[in-house]
Structure 1
C-alpha cells in the first residue's frame, strides 16, 4: 500500500481517533497546579514513548524560567550527510472557558459527524499527533526516515512560552537543524490545505487617564472639568480611526513586499464588514501582510447603571498585531510622544509584548521545495507569508536561524480556547496525507538546501 493510502487508512480505521482520545484525556492545563501534574504525566506516558518508538533518544530539560514547565527533546540521528528536520509541538492546553454543548466533557473525545470534540483536538494535541503518526508511517514503510529528526515539545505555549527563547539560546547545538516543519493554528479554511511561514507579533497597549478620585456632578462641573472618557476616546481616534485605519505611520510596516503581495494574490478572504481597514490593501493583505490596531476593552463609569457624573478615570486596552519588518523597539515612547503632540500628555502609556513577529521569506528555497513536494503528491496549498495569530516562530527564525514551514491541521471554526473545541475528521485525514507526503519527500531534498 502506498504511503498516502496508509495515511488515509489510518484515519478511516479509527486508529487515529483512538489514540487522540487518550491524548485528550490528560487535562494538561498549563496555568493550573493540577494541570502541571497532568503535563508531566503526558510527557512521561505519551510523548516519551511516542518519540522512543521513532528511535529517538529522549531527554527532558528544566525550564530556565520558573514560570514555565519542562521541555522534551527527541533526537534520531541517521547520518551527518542527511538533512536534519526539527519538529515542534506543545503539550499544554487552555483551561475551561464555559459550559460545553450537549453535556460534552472536554477531556473525553466525542465524535458527532465530522466533528471530533475535545480540549486539545485542534490546539495542539491533534496536530502534533498527526505529525508523529506521519513520521511513524514513513519509518515503518522504509525502515528509515532518510533524514535526521529532532522533535521539541514545550509545555507553556498557552501562557506565552516562558523560557522557550532562553532554552533555544542555551541549546542551539541540541536544536540545530536545516528546517522547521511544525503544525499549529488554522489553515485558511476547512477545504484549503495551507502552508504559512511565520506569525504576526502582538503588543498590548494600556492607556490610562486617571485624573481624580471618584466622579463629579455633570451639571455642576460639565464644561470646565476635563472628562477622561472623552479625552481617551479622542486620543484613541488619533491612533486608529473609526474605520480601523492606523493613523500613526510609526505603527505600520515600511512596506508590503512584492513577494508577499504575489503570494497573497490568489488567497480569498471573506471580509464581512465593507469599508473596514486600509482600503488600499485587499482583505488577505490586511489580514496576513499588514498591521492592525484593535481596541480590546474600554472602561469609564458604569454603562449598565450610569449616573450624572463625569468619571474620574478612563482606561483602554489596545493591541497592535504587527508583521515582520515593523520597528517596535521603542513603541511605548512612540505612542506617548504621539499623544503628547496631539495634546494628551495626561494619558499614561504602558505596553507589554507577547510573541514577536517573524517570517521566513517567501522566496526561501525550502518554501519552493515544500510546495513542489506537496504538488507532486497531488496537493496544492495556499501560501500565507504570516499566520494571523501569534506563535513563537521567532525562536526558530531569529534564535536558531531556521527556515520555518507551518502546515496546520485545523481550521478557523475549530473553537480553540473556547467551549466545544473540535477537530474535523476530514481535515485530520487530509492533514495526515499532507504531513506524510512532506516527510516522505524530505530524504530526497536537494543537498543545496542544507545549512
Structure 2
C-alpha cells in the first residue's frame, strides 16, 4: 500500500473509532468566549491543553506571545522545520468562540457539552473553528505517523480573538514577518458551498460596521399632544435606511457597487452548485441582474443588524427623541474601502438627511482580499482534493463572509488558500452550532491526501517547474 493510501486509512480509523469525537469533546468543553472578560482565562487554557500538546507530540516547537493590544488574548506560533530547501506552509486557526447563548439551544443541548445526534456533532466551536483546525492538525499527524516526517516545513499561527475582530493580529504578523514566512498559506474556516463536496476559496469579502443615529432631543413626548409638531427620529432613520437600497435590497449608492465582477470571476461562479444552506433562500432579493452566487461572492451587500427607537419591549404613547440602527456593508475587492463612509455621508446629505449621524464601529474592519484564480496552488490543491473524494472541488474567488485574510495575503504577501470543513446550515454564531460527521470525515481524508501530495510535489510548485498530474 502506498504512503498516501496508508495515511488515508490511518485518518479513517482515527475518525471511525471515535477518537475525533473524543478530541473534539475536550476542545468544546473549554468555554473560550472572547466576547466576555470571564472567558479570557479559557483562551490560554485552550492553547495549553488542546493545541500545544498535539503539536509538541509531532515535534513542533511552540511559543506563546502576549497580545500587543491590552486585554486581548494571546498568540501561539509553532513550527516544524525539516529542511530549509523544502516548501513551507503556514496555517492558522482561532481558539476563541462566540458567546454560548446557553438559554437558546434546543432542549437537551448545551453549548460546551458535545452532543452527538445522527450526523451532527453539536457544540460551540464544532464548526467555528475548533473542529476545522482539529481536522487539519490530525491529518498532519497521520502523515507524520506514516512517513516519520512531513516532507515539508510547517508553521502554525493561532490567535484567540477572531470573533472580536482579531485585535493585534495584523500587528503580530507585521512584527513577525520572518518567523511567519512561507510559500503558501493553507487554512480552514467558514462554510463549504455543499456539505458533500470540498470547497476552495482564496480570500474574503471585507466587512465594515457602522451605526446610523438620529438624536433630536432628550426624552420622549406625548404622541397626542405633540404628534405633527415634533419630528420622529424613527421615521427619519427609516427613510435613511430605505434610501440606501431599493425594496429588494439593490444598492443605491454608486460607490458601493463594485467594479470587479469580471467575466473570469463570473465564469468561476457560473459552475457552482446551488448554495445548500439547509433552509430556503430568497431568490428575489438582491441585485436582480446577478445570479445568487454572484450576489454573495462577487458583489456587495448591505444589512441592518439591529435597530431601536423608544422601548419596543414596553411601548408607550410617546414620540421618542432618539433612534439607532447598527448596519453593515460586506464588500468585495473592487470597492474603495476608504470611501465607504464618506460616500454614505454624501448620499444621505443629498437626500436631505443631514440629521442622521454615522458612527463607525471602533474595531478595525477586515478588508476584502482575493487571490488570482490562475495561481498554480489552486489547481494543485483542487486536483488533490478531487483525487481523494472522487469529485470536483467547488472554487470560490472569495468567501461571502469576512476573515482576517489581509494579514496573510497583504502583510505577509502569501498566496492564500482556504479549505472550509463546515456548511452553510451549521448555525455558526447561533444556538445549536454543529459539525456534520460525514463532512468532517471527508475533510479529514482530503487534508491527509493533500499533505501527502505536497510532500511529494510541493517543491515543483514553488520552483515553477512542471509537476506530474495528481
If the TM-score is normalised by the length of the shorter chain, which range does it land in? over 0.9
Pick which of 77-86 and 210-219 moved more: 210-219
1:240-319 residue pairs with structure 2 within 5 A?
A: 240-269=245-274, 272-303=281-312, 305-319=314-328
Q: Do 1:30 and 1:155's aligned partners in 2 also have CA atoms closer than 8 Å?
A: yes
Q: Do 2:255 and 2:343's aligned partners in 1 also have CA atoms closer than 8 Å?
A: yes
2:450 maps to which of 420, 438, 441: 438
Aligned to 1:386: 398
Aligned to 1:321: 330
1:290-439 residue pairs with structure 2 within 5 A?
A: 290-303=299-312, 305-352=314-361, 353-377=364-388, 378-439=390-451
Q: Does 1:143 align with 2:148?
A: yes
Q: Do 1:196 and 1:405's aligned partners in 2 also have CA atoms closer than 8 Å?
A: yes
Aligned to 2:468: none
Pick which of 160-169 and 62-71 moved more: 62-71
Q: Does 1:109 align with 2:114?
A: yes
Task: Give the TM-score, by structure 2 length.
Answer: 0.91
SS at match of 1:439: helix
| TM-aligned CA deviation for residue 50 of structure 1 | 1.1
1:164-188 residue CA offsets vs partner (Å, 9 max, x unmatched): 0000000000001011111111111
SS at match of 1:101: coil
1:102-157 residue CA offsets vs partner (Å, 9 max, x unmatched): 33333322222211122211111111111011111111111221111001111111
1:82 maps to which of 78, 81, 86: 86
**Rounded Cα–Cα distance in structure 2 between residues aligned with 1:102 and 1:224:** 50
Structure 1 gaps, min length 5:
none
Quick one: structure 1 residues 229 and 105, their matched pair in 2 at CA, closer, same or farther if it must change by over 3 Å? closer
**Rounded Cα–Cα distance in structure 1 between residues aligned with 2:228 and 2:40:** 55
Task: Give the TM-score, by structure 1 length.
Answer: 0.94
Structure 2 gaps, min length 5:
465-470
| TM-aligned CA deviation for residue 346 of structure 1 | 1.4
**Rounded Cα–Cα distance in structure 2 between residues aligned with 1:306 and 1:61:** 50
Q: Does 1:226 align with 2:231?
A: yes
| TM-aligned CA deviation for residue 307 of structure 1 | 4.5
SS at match of 1:75: strand
SS at match of 1:192: coil
Q: Do 1:200 and 1:324's aligned partners in 2 also have CA atoms closer than 8 Å?
A: yes
**Rounded Cα–Cα distance in structure 2 between residues aligned with 1:20 and 1:262:** 38
Q: Do 2:253 and 2:343's aligned partners in 1 also have CA atoms closer than 8 Å?
A: no
Aligned length: 451
Q: Do 2:102 and 2:110's aligned partners in 1 also have CA atoms closer than 8 Å?
A: no
2:194 maps to which of 189, 192, 198: 189
Please, what is the CA RMSD of the aligned residues?
2.0
Q: Do 2:185 and 2:414's aligned partners in 1 also have CA atoms closer than 8 Å?
A: yes
1:68 maps to which of 69, 72, 75: 72
Aligned to 1:59: 63
1:167-206 residue pairs with structure 2 within 5 A?
A: 167-206=172-211
1:245-304 residue CA offsets vs partner (Å, 9 max, x unmatched): 110011121230222211111113357324211011100000111100112222223455
Pick which of 388-397 and 165-174 moved more: 388-397
**Rounded Cα–Cα distance in structure 2 between residues aligned with 1:253 and 1:381:** 27
SS at match of 1:181: strand
SS at match of 1:358: coil
**Rounded Cα–Cα distance in structure 2 between residues aligned with 1:33 and 1:231:** 37
Aligned to 1:7: 11
Aligned to 1:235: 240
Detail structure 1 runs of 4+ shifted over 6 Å in the superposition.
Answer: none
Quick one: structure 1 residues 30 and 246, their matched pair in 2 at CA, closer, same or farther if it must change by over 3 Å? same
**Rounded Cα–Cα distance in structure 2 between residues aligned with 1:284 and 1:58:** 40
SS at match of 1:103: coil
Q: Do 2:28 and 2:123's aligned partners in 1 also have CA atoms closer than 8 Å?
A: yes
Pick which of 417-426 and 302-311 moved more: 302-311
Pick which of 148-157 and 15-24 moved more: 15-24
SS at match of 2:179: helix
**Rounded Cα–Cα distance in structure 2 between residues aligned with 1:162 and 1:181:** 21
Quick one: structure 1 residues 29 and 140, their matched pair in 2 at CA, closer, same or farther if it must change by over 3 Å? same
**Rounded Cα–Cα distance in structure 2 between residues aligned with 1:66 and 1:408:** 31
**Rounded Cα–Cα distance in structure 2 between residues aligned with 1:22 and 1:225:** 58
Quick one: structure 1 residues 45 and 405, their matched pair in 2 at CA, closer, same or farther if it must change by over 3 Å? same
